[in-house]
Amino acid sequence: MTTENVYAYMLHNIPGWGNKTLLKLLDEFGSCSKIAKATEKELRDFITSKQYKAFERMQKTWDLEGEYEYLYRRGIDFYYYSDVKYPRRLKDIPDPPFALYCLGNLPDENKPSVSIIGARNSSEYGKYAAKLFGDKLALSGIQIISGMARGIDGISQQAAIYAGGESYGILGSGVDVCYPEENRALYNSLIKSGGIISEYLPGTQPKPQYFPPRNRIISGLSDAVLVIEAREKSGTLITVDMALEQGREVFAVPGRICDSLSYGCNSLIRQGAGMAAGPEEILEYLRRKIHSDRPGVDEKCGKEEEKAGEMCENIVFENNEKAELLNCNETQKCIYKELDFYPQTTAAIFEKMVERGMEMTVSEVMNALVELCLIGIVAQNGTGFYKRG
């Protein structure tokens, strides 16, 4: 017996039949099988003659079972709007996608999710913040949603995976098309530790016009949206507008007033976005959200979210947390605390140690920096320049 998913997949492949047309027809006919078997007279009030001709051609040439079987063999899962596994969060947004394709898994509906977005050409400050938030939120059991783009998106998702968490990449291409290619390793990791998701047909190549629409899925799958670095007129702000339209909470990481990459974030904060001075700001919001009534959440879901809330409460944030966890000595801890996201010379770091009353030589500072680099929490940028890793 042919399933509804098989018919839905066929309908989604008809040229000229977009989300609005498909959802309108689904609402009118009640099932994809009825749409697929409808006559021209029954469809006349809902589609154009051009759309009907495309439908007619599809009926004659499309191999229902064979095409769906080929999709399945490639490891691509297909979820249409009425599927019980279709994300609950997306059903409530304006213009939900009629269907989703997925490599890996969909986000767990019973776990909190946060989307992290920002500049592609990020600064050292932005890179550090992306790693920090991706790492800490993932350690707290928060799913990270983003677009797998270079810069903030990819860095935060990679940090989440390194932390043992789950992350999901929403693409502006088919799920079988890795873009950008430089993020191939991340793409493969997401399939194993989360999922790759798209509303576009497999094989679809990335085009500029495909990325703004996919942003509504990024924000739609999330409980909150976090912006890390964005210029005043940034494409990132398109996602923010969609998030606000969907009723999602928006947070922004504050930046230095002299950095153009921080203009967008600082502007969002002035307009009322939550200021994310650290991961704890978002965790506190999620705790409140978890403990509040959420429509449609059953008892089991509530217990899962309560467990995630307890995980959030157990996280402690300190400036020298990494050094504490790695049992560094006091000298290393003090030096790590003085490091910034921007590279500093050994001499500048030594002067800060002297100002703090630390009795040590330049040689001792250099040795400690080398040891911190070997541990992996400090990075050397050029000869004699060091920053947090």
Closest CA to 117 of 248, 244, 250: 250
Q: Three-class SS string for 190-231?
A: HHHCEEEEECCCCCCCCCHHHHHHHHHHHHHCCCEEEEECCC
Whole-number mean pLDDT of the chain?
89
Residue 99 token pair: 């269907």
Q: Other C-beta atoms within 10 Å of 294: how many? A: 12
pLDDT for 301: 44
Q: What angle do CA 282, 273, 213 make, to 5 degrees?
A: 90
More confident call, 59 vs 374: 59
Is residue 311's pLDDT more than 80? no
Contact 187, 196 (CB under 8 A): yes
pLDDT for 385: 87
Is residue 15's pLDDT more than 70? yes
**pLDDT tens-place string over residues 70-81:** 999 999 999 999
Is residue 152's pLDDT more than 70? yes
Closest CA to 352 of 340, 58, 20, 342: 340
Q: CB-based contacts of 358: which residues, under 8 Å, 6+ apart?
A: 331, 334
- Determine the length of the chain: 389
Please give the CATH number for the structural domain made up of 4-73. 1.10.150
Is residue 247's pLDDT more than 80? yes
**pLDDT tens-place string over residues 45-60:** 999 999 999 999 999 9
**AA letter at 352:** K
Domain extents in the chain: 4-73, 113-313, 321-388
* Residues of the chain above pLDDT 90, percent: 69
Residue 291 token pair: 């403990």
DSSP state at residue 85: T
pLDDT for 2: 75
Q: Other C-beta atoms within 10 Å of 380: how many? A: 15
- The secondary element (H helix, E strand) that includes residue 58 is helix 49-61
Q: Decide: helix, strand or coil at residue 53.
A: helix
- Average confidence (pLDDT) over 295-315: 47
* Residues of the chain above pLDDT 70, percent: 91
Distance CA 264, CA 360 (A): 42
Distance CA 194, CA 355 (A): 47
- Average confidence (pLDDT) over 142-162: 97
DSSP state at residue 23: H
Contact 79, 109 (CB under 8 A): no
Is residue 317's pLDDT more than 50? no
Is residue 295's pLDDT more than 80? no
Q: What angle do CA 12, 209, 112 make, to 5 degrees?
A: 70
Closest CA to 198 of 189, 207, 227: 207
More confident call, 339 vs 326: 339
Is residue 329's pLDDT more than 90? no
Residue 367 token pair: 């040795």
**pLDDT tens-place string over residues 164-222:** 999 999 999 999 999 999 999 999 999 999 999 999 999 999 999 999 999 999 999 99
Q: What angle do CA 283, 148, 288 make, to 5 degrees?
A: 15
Q: If you classify domain 321-388 with CATH, what class do you get?
A: mainly alpha
- Average confidence (pLDDT) over 5-19: 97
Distance CA 149, CA 155 (A): 9
Contact 18, 54 (CB under 8 A): no
**AA letter at 195:** G
More confident call, 51 vs 362: 51
Is residue 377's pLDDT more than 90? no
Question: 224 pLDDT band (50/70/90 cuts)?
Answer: very high
Is residue 1's pLDDT more than 90? no
Q: Three-class SS string for 327-380?
A: CCCHHHHHHHHHCCCCCEEHHHHHHHHHHCCCCCCHHHHHHHHHHHHHHCCEEE
Q: Other C-beta atoms within 10 Å of 162: how many? A: 14
Query: In sequence order, what E strands does 81-223 have?
Result: 99-104, 113-118, 143-146, 167-170, 194-198
pLDDT for 324: 54
Is residue 298's pLDDT more than 70? no
Buried b (16+ CB within 10 A) or exposed e, 304-330: bbeebbeebeeeeeeebebbeeeebee
Residue 282 token pair: 């978002």
pLDDT for 56: 95
Distance CA 198, CA 147 (A): 10
Is residue 141's pLDDT more than 70? yes
Closest CA to 51 of 95, 11, 7: 11
Q: If you classify domain 113-313 with CATH, what class do you get?
A: alpha beta
Question: 126 pLDDT band (50/70/90 cuts)?
Answer: very high
**pLDDT tens-place string over residues 97-114:** 999 999 999 999 999 999
